Structure 1
């Protein structure tokens, strides 16, 4: 039987279908952005090959991300670097404030609303619903999308990046104090109508079930021994899974959540496991991360501030 860390990697490799583009986005946000937001394509291929992503799949996925304006190219001799576009970098930086936070954001008791004020065709409406779902918005009726803390400007920027700029003129952003919805009980009713919290709780529980054995393995190993490559691969999968989970999570305030909400446990788990994987994974990047010029840029010191608090690593109950 494989140790939990190796089992997690093997489970990923055995998937029938891998969404390589989404995984590459996670790699850029977590590992490439702190090293100057660019990487040689050959280096990216080498880093991802141990996860079972072959060269053709990586190339095809990267070309698609260029077409979708996440990335751009910059030749250097006979090689090519891939860089985050300015809009791609802004989207990553906005996401990073949520992904690497040590705790959930405080609620200012105002709801963010996006209301449709013009007619939308069925395809437009479904595209809007899907795009806002991945930003954590819930739906009230069919014409109002709600979120407790989203940056509405960033939300509209993301809709533009998703190719929905043609409908932005038919959307109206609003701020509403929670009192405008009535009592706290009415807020809870609204939350239950706008989001499927049971499903989201199940996704969080699945995340904990997947990564708790890995954390337990690292905790019980007195020397914290895991090879550098495995640490990097696990770090990428951890952040990839957590990023996709947070994208659909509105990060509701505690007062509006069930008392046994698993989101905080997942956050603490991700925080501790990431901190334990950080040093060996950075050694792997120092050895294998290259630009088209052959240089290896150092990581920004800010990477060591991720999930950082004044207290030592939080132990889970």
Structure 2
């Protein structure tokens, strides 16, 4: 079975999802392919990119309209063409959503926790802030109290200001623990986050993409466009899991944590196909000035560096 056949299977699996969340896929496309190239793209280019995945033009139009309403994107019309770019709040969300996707190592944990108390907020604002914190993979430690091992108060201020919740939200940073992994803390982590479900989702990700990786070693017949489709689906599925994963330190995770293998597989696949995908983007994506600019320098730092030739990490 060739890499091309494995990609076809991945596309079919995506098309079977109900509801088909095109808006979420468009977020992945912006974060992975468009943001590094200036952040603005012609709607027609976006349609051309997503058509092979089975997203209709009508659904794309509806989805980008909703993303504008939700302040992710803003639109500019020049003649009969519409161009969509990231808003300020949208860029902040993109940076938060993708900051762990392309990293290959977690920073050492200090032992400190960020605690957010929502009890002083009105019910509507509380729900909005809670949803945003869940989107950042915060867990619930108690009613009205959310926790995260890596975020800091400074990182949360823009989001709280955006929702008008800064003055009525209490954010605390605990002192680092001398003993970072006592039994009680590990039990609390399991109550705050559903690690069993996370592990299941990582296993499913490995089952989805390992066959493609194996075929690429012996029968790599993917075109530049197909490499781009594979890359989008890879990052899309991986990103959706990371949105639920607080990136807990190793001392609070099981020794056989599936997230480690998933990260290695994602890195290996991405580095295998990214260059051909970029070739298609160079030739087909446009903004109001013409072809999109080349990716910025930060793009080439993904997964520890894309320009260098590296041996794949064993899964």
TM-score computed with the length of structure 2 as normaliser: 0.90
Q: Provide the C-alpha distance between the structure 1 equivalents of 2:152 and 2:231, rounded to a whole number of angstroms.
A: 27
Alpha-carbon distance change, 167 to 97 in structure 1, aligned in 2, over 3 angstroms = closer
Distance 1:15 1:141 in 2: 33
Structure 1 unaligned segments of length 5 or more: list them. Answer: none
Equivalent position SS for 1:169: coil
Determine if the alignment matches structure 1 residue 253 to structure 2 residue 254: no
Q: Give the drift of 1:168.
A: 4.0
1:149-298 to structure 2, matched below 5 A, reads 149-158=150-159, 165-179=163-177, 184-221=182-219, 224-298=220-294
Quickly say closer, same or farther: Cα 1:16–1:87, change in 2 above 3 A. Answer: closer
Contact persistence 2:109–2:150 (CA under 8 A)? yes
Indicate the RMSD between aligned Cα atoms, in angstroms: 2.3
Q: How big is the shift at 1:91?
A: 2.3
Aligned to 1:132: 133
Partner of 1:308 in structure 2? 304
Give the 3 Å change call, closer, same or farther, for CA 197–14 of structure 1 in structure 2: closer
Question: What is the TM-score with the length of structure 1 in the denominator?
Answer: 0.90
Task: Give yes or no for contact 1:111–1:148 (8 Å, CA) kept in 2.
Answer: yes
Call closer, same or farther: CA 1:158–1:248 in 2, change over 3 Å.
farther
1:44 aligned to 46, 52, 68, which one? 46
Q: 1:46-105 CA deviation, whole Å, 9 max, x = no partner?
A: 111111111111011111111111111223333221111122122223333311111123
Does the C-alpha gap of structure 1 residues 301 and 131 become closer, same or farther in structure 2, counting only changes over 3 Å?
closer
The answer on whether the counterparts of 2:153 and 2:173 sit within 8 Å (CA) in structure 1 is no
Report the number of matched residues.
311
Instruction: Classify the secondary structure of the residue corresponding to 2:237.
Output: helix
Deviation at 1:112, TM superposition (A): 0.8
Provide structure 2 residue ranges, at least 5 long, that are not aligned to the other structure: none
